[in-house]
Structure 1
């Protein structure tokens, strides 16, 4: 494998991959391991250091194990066997233990680790595989296809040719725009503010699990432990400038402590904070001739439940495997690729998007009767092992990939 700034394809390249994030590199590795020549086109000059996604679910760990990178991820990540729902004022409401899935998966836990720690592992795994290339500084700006292949136009005027293109170039996908693919859906009424804290929140919030969804009618939030930080996700009203909201962050964090009865203390140290808008959208189709859409290029959802990156990696593995069969000319492979693309779109619509949106509605419930019903349901689920297992099969995404009983 070569990794450089040139746009030239690998010798005999069969598949081009747009984007060297976790989804694009996973797809490239799947294809390369299947004996397909691959060229990855990455707009940036290096792998991205930004890490919004930080949760890896059990079936994703299974897939990464098949690709030979899960041990490296486990060494860099934090194993979270439980997650909880909390009331902002009274504390824990219900806690679920992923150990209930030990008969369903060899990884009955989540791994908390920034996605920027996975991408170097994927890139390294490509090393030594033949006919594989990663080109940095290769920004895709146009796509043309014909009966024999796909031509990708780069921002610097050069072109790259391949038999197929797998687009994993993010929510603002240049490939999707070039194809004119509809991306229907909704935008959430609030922005999300994510802050990374150099603090041990367990010292301030008694009984805090590594992942906590905090219910509150006025200001719900999510607390996530990563190897390096605690992350706090806060909903933020639209219409207020980012710098004003970021300036208010210390006061909002202080209220979180006092609301939980922790009392006043020195301000929490904020290592990094950012605001972003959240959408729920799905592309009209994931296959367009010789072009496939994966990950955020194909579907986006709110981050509650950590399903975005995970479902994108699932896209990469399942579509990449089906595409490899097409490249090798296996009988029935074209129809199988059509089915895989349709299945992944159905999953984005009926499972990932629906589950993430339900998480959002549950956290922000305002009506007192509805809030009481939510809390009662969570407690009843946690208290019943069979019911808890069924809930965990959904939240872990196992149920999105295979039949469960």
Structure 2
């Protein structure tokens, strides 16, 4: 990022179809880009989601967009948010707000027309940056540009109070530090450590969502070690210890060496003891697919080879197990697990009697087929011929 630029750099997202029309419908003096789109553009990152803050009340936003023939969905209108559905993708439009009451999990808000008041209720200075849609002029009320340039995640206001308002800010502090940070903010770190037990009041789904995002951030390894050192996760994820942080560092190095993108479930699997995968997955209320992957990732590399493992558990599952075990995954590059080119019906056609023996024989044929490196249909047929012939000879002499 250049030295505290006062104008938002041009970026592809600013030219999305329908975005200029939306800004014009709201009125350039009453609407500003806010948050992640501004922050990420300043550091040269791609922008996925666009948020607009506006002085208009939610009902007025709906009226203005409908008058401009922009489809609008009242996704969170009670809290001031509607979604404008544009040809270039959805954009959330939220009325300026101030907090009236907070309890650490939820906030009661009142609408406002004061930009600084809206900025003051946001968590970190780097997330409280606004930009004029027409001119790109940046509005920075709390030094967010300087913090972004310094790689510093800093609470707006008193960190202890801001965490009391929303306990999830503890995890967000570390997640954003893992993504943008170079210098840890001492006051923020101290507050997070002091209030770490507040995490117990949060839903496990919210904890899981933040942790999974954190685990794939660029500086996740160092940040997880820092969290362990300061006891941040002790109350909600006591399974994560210094030993787990060390294992995560080893896995991250293996991922990098193999040019494999990090995956949060794989990283979580190595961060906790193998026998904790099932209870941790349940406690965090992970999806069924993520729970299965978490448990499977601890299964070890097997003894049939990388491609055999990929055939049995899928490419993703094999990569998880092999990387965690420190086994080379080069043999999986370009590999697509094949389909066994024979069925139980083909075994019956060879004279095998229908019943449970067919499934057992098919597994036997499959095991030989895997051991031989997935040969073609002709060789598989020969394996089946031999296996069935042996079974029929054995039954005739029994």
* Higher Cα Rg, which structure: 2
Higher share in strand: 1
Larger relative contact order (CA 8 Å, sep ≥ 6):
1
Structure-2-length-normalised TM-score: 0.20
